[in-house]
Amino acid sequence: MTSGATRSGFATFVGRPNVGKSTLTNALVGEKVAITSDKPQTTRRAIRGILNRPAGQLVIVDTPGIHKPRTLLGQRLNDLVEQVLGDVDVIGFLVPATDKVGPGDRRIAASLDGYPRAKKVAIVTKTDLAGRDEIMERLMEVDSLREDWAAVIPLSAVTDEQLDVLTDELLSLMPEGPALYPDDVVTDESTADRIAEIIREAALEGVRDELPHSIAVTVEDVAAREDSDLTDVFANIVVERDSQKAIIIGRKGSRLADVGARARAQIEPLVGSRVFLSLRVRVAKEWQRDPKQLGRLGF
């Protein structure tokens, strides 16, 4: 690296569902740009979080987890991951310190052969939940998965332990070049898209079985109300069946009111004002399998 030069580029994280990709993205950026949930396949888009340091700029691309698709939506999410992996400069492979390396981890680690231009970093997450011996065992297991790791780093996105080590390592692996985004931007997501994701995160809370996969959110309008400090937000929660609609609404609308309250608490700091949030629940039959419906919902 020449004197005074800066680096910039793209990194993404891969791993089994629920290894903490979105949590790590948010921790690195220092702001919530990706929703988190204990439900698999929570992330549905390539969400870019932007991290600025004196040495350069990192763009973290949070993607859906790699999984065996059962619907057209699932296939399109996998295709999106493939596209991102082919474009980034660095791929971080995540394994939780609390779980032994298994066949799924080995399969994903081996699949990185398909992306020769990207440098690879192994990351052992959730070290705050594991003992020293467990962390050492995981580091050795992960290290043995590939011979071309640029680094193997243990960290905790919850306690911020070693996050600076990962940031420095990722930046050092980026190509020389100017910043790709202005230094006051933390994500290239639109406000409407961020609001839709916040509402979906609130709707995911406490639902079980297939319902998480069936929930989508569209935002119809976000507008400042005239002669008021209120911002009006009109949005739809989309499900696949009438029975799911009843679950989302809840008894006498109690569950939908709870979703609205949780979402509004996060939307207000985002838009910088009090919010009137209007939520409607509508049914789009089998939208995960319908190309036209997927298109309308942005997939």
Consult the annotation and say whether 15 binds a ligand: yes
Consult the annotation and say whether 25 binds a ligand: no
Q: CA–CA separation, 244 vs 256, rounded Å? A: 12
Consult the annotation and say whether 21 binds a ligand: yes
Consult the annotation and say whether 52 binds a ligand: no
What's phi and psi for 264, nearest 5 deg? -60, -35
End-to-end CA distance of the chain: 40
Consult the annotation and say whether 154 binds a ligand: no
Consult the annotation and say whether 126 binds a ligand: yes
Consult the annotation and say whether 63 binds a ligand: yes
Consult the annotation and say whether 124 binds a ligand: no
Consult the annotation and say whether 212 binds a ligand: no
Q: Where are the beta strands (DSSP E) in the chain?
A: 7-14, 47-53, 56-62, 90-96, 119-125, 149-154, 216-224, 230-239, 274-283
Consult the annotation and say whether 74 binds a ligand: no
Collapsed DSSP state (helix, strand, coil) of residue 125: strand
Q: CA–CA separation, 97 vs 102, rounded Å? A: 12
Q: CA–CA separation, 110 vs 96, rounded Å? A: 18
Consult the annotation and say whether 143 binds a ligand: no
Consult the annotation and say whether 47 binds a ligand: no
Consult the annotation and say whether 272 binds a ligand: no
Q: CA–CA separation, 224 vs 230, rounded Å? A: 6
Consult the annotation and say whether 62 binds a ligand: yes
Consult the annotation and say whether 125 binds a ligand: yes
Consult the annotation and say whether 98 binds a ligand: no
Consult the annotation and say whether 292 binds a ligand: no
Q: Are 135 and 154 in contact (CB under 8 A)?
A: yes
Q: Residue ranges for the binding site?
A: 15-22, 62-66, 125-128
Binding site, annotated residues for GTP = 15-22, 62-66, 125-128
